[in-house]
A and B are shown apart, each in its own frame.
Chain A
């Protein structure tokens, strides 16, 4: 009897207290915070992280078109393994000549473009920093315009400037007595053209970042260097560069990621031609995956970007954490 009373009591209390507990749970700071960040979490997991892993899964699938080539590649293995080999797409890619061209072109494109963008940005930032403060805003505004125009639109203008028969550049060249240049028709000139356009689009970003960094270098350091008799080169090497080291690194790493994963410029300017000589991973993946309909193969191609992107991302993260600790 007493037992029954005792045992019936707690559930009754629990029923009464539950609404309060629920309400208290929803009024807790961390719960509110989690709910506010929930859309972000869903977006990141559903549309970035899940697709990234889905790409890995897709790359292990096969399309009937390539499966014959797979079989040829792994014929020396037992049938059971060969039929279900998960990395057949990659293996197939390694045997393709175009794939190695794409690797070469992507590396050449990214390295050359980033170096020249950084150099041009550094020099331009100095010029802008050099003129009276009153005029800086105007020049800075003018020099950032390539970055503001959508790249697909500005590349169209470049395509028209490079046009083989009515080319504005070739008009100037023939006028000066030189031969016409097949800007997008010859492999090396086409490589030059896509890199040039990429530099044109990206250099203003470097300029803005470096200009901000230049302005944060205290003038006293230059005065001290001048008193010590440092020449211009020593001032850049021992004062400017060490002070800007972090910004230079972060900007270059950012740009490496964006340049390596570039799509718009190559797609519009050469579409990978002539003879697949200017394809980057992204444009080739598009051609194989979306236009060619071989999604597994396209996914495999785009996954080859991951190692370089990951290395750059790790370095960026390290730099940003360091800066966070210093501050």
Chain B
């Protein structure tokens, strides 16, 4: 029924339909589409909206038996309390520092590598390109235990403690971001016409100059998409910081909110929702402003190849 209306405006009406019913069909298809889109949008936006509603409530109102979907006494107390809490600010700072460094490291590794793999062939470069893609398919949940043990062994051998230090995340996050970024950069670089870099080489540019003067400016949309991806992944990563860091001053935002704001069975829901909402804001803001790049990066992984 609904699907019938979905496709009925795709082209001309079928033979049996009387001529002139096309616009009526189309209007109904449109109405049904909007109807279901509104329902789905409500389902999709429910959790973030409910986060916002709860963040405006006092603890007394949250535990009262009133309608949970409405705020009777809106207050910003949760925000004020959270933003003056030193540990929350430390989580936020750690997240910002880790994400910034990871994005930088990722770009420094993946742009030259993608350039080398897409333009300058060397022995095994085709295999390596496939390998990069396969690495992207290796999930973090497979690697966290061996990495944990590796860091423990590393500590025994060299005396350098990596576990429970926030900067260990700078070592492990690139394993999640670099393969995908390199992969989509290879796609973007491969789409640049060969004449462009041949002209640069003829004019006497070195390979490095070709990369910085030609490839990076021309493939800038791809680089922005990759940067956004690297940032979102490193901001949202939950498993590695949960496994590798434990001290309150070393935690990043997602782990910090979950481990410190939940004490035993006591849930400070007002503060948890406020913290979660503020933690979700940076990716949302970036998404709001750079949506097209975000979506380009999302679809590039599977469509470029």
Do A and B come together as binding partners? yes
State the A residues within 8 Å of B (CB). Answer: 29-34, 36-37, 39-41, 43-44, 47-52, 54-55, 58, 120, 123-124, 126-128, 130-132, 137, 139-154, 156-158, 160-161, 163, 166-168, 171-172, 200, 203-205, 208-209, 212, 219, 222-223, 225-227, 229-233, 235-236, 240, 247, 250-251, 254, 257-258, 261-264, 267-268, 281-282, 285-286, 289-290, 295, 298-299, 302-303, 305-306, 309, 312-313, 316-317, 320, 323-324
Interface size in chain B (residues, C-beta < 8 A): 109
Stretch at the interface among B77-85, B105-113, B192-200, B216-224: B105-113
Of A208, A230, A250, A290, which is within 8 A of B243 by CB?
A: A290
Given A47-B147, A143-B41, A152-B238, A33 contacting B122 (CB threshold 8 A): yes
Interface of B, helix, strand, loop or mixed by DSSP: helix
In the complex, the answer to whether B272 meets A150 with C-beta atoms within 8 Å is no
Q: A161 vs B51: C-alpha distance in the bound complex, in angstroms? A: 9
Question: Which A residues are CB-close (under 8 A) to B284?
Answer: 145, 148-149
Residue B298 lies at the interface, judged by CB distance under 8 Å to chain A: yes
Indicate with 1 or 0, residue by residue over B61-88, a CB within 8 angstroms of chain A CB atoms. 0110001110000000000000000000
Nearest CB in chain B: distance from A121 CB, A: 11
Question: Which B residues are CB-close (under 8 A) to A152?
Answer: 236, 238, 254-255, 258
Of B15, B120, B121, B273, which is within 8 A of A156 by CB?
A: B273
Of A58, A148, A229, A281, which is within 8 A of B283 by CB?
A: A148
Nearest CB in chain B: distance from A243 CB, A: 13
Using A124-B37, A305-B141 as known contacts, list a sample of 4 further A-B pairs with CB atoms less than 8 Å apart, ordered by residue number in A. Answer: A31-B122, A36-B120, A52-B143, A302-B141
Question: Which A residues are CB-close (under 8 A) to B149?
Answer: 54, 58, 295, 299
In the complex, the answer to whether A128 meets B37 with C-beta atoms within 8 Å is yes
In the complex, the answer to whether A166 meets B63 with C-beta atoms within 8 Å is yes
Q: A209 vs B239: C-alpha distance in the bound complex, in angstroms? A: 26
Q: A261 vs B127: C-alpha distance in the bound complex, in angstroms? A: 25
Q: A153 vs B252: C-alpha distance in the bound complex, in angstroms? A: 12
Q: A228 vs B232: C-alpha distance in the bound complex, in angstroms? A: 47
Q: A257 vs B138: C-alpha distance in the bound complex, in angstroms? A: 9
Nearest CB in chain A: distance from B288 CB, A: 8
Of B30, B179, B276, B305, which is within 8 A of A131 by CB?
A: B30
In the complex, the answer to whether A58 meets B33 with C-beta atoms within 8 Å is no
Chain A CB within 10 Å — which of B46, B141, B236 has the most?
Answer: B141
Chain A CB within 10 Å — which of B148, B182, B288 has the most?
Answer: B148
Q: A231 vs B1: C-alpha distance in the bound complex, in angstroms? A: 12
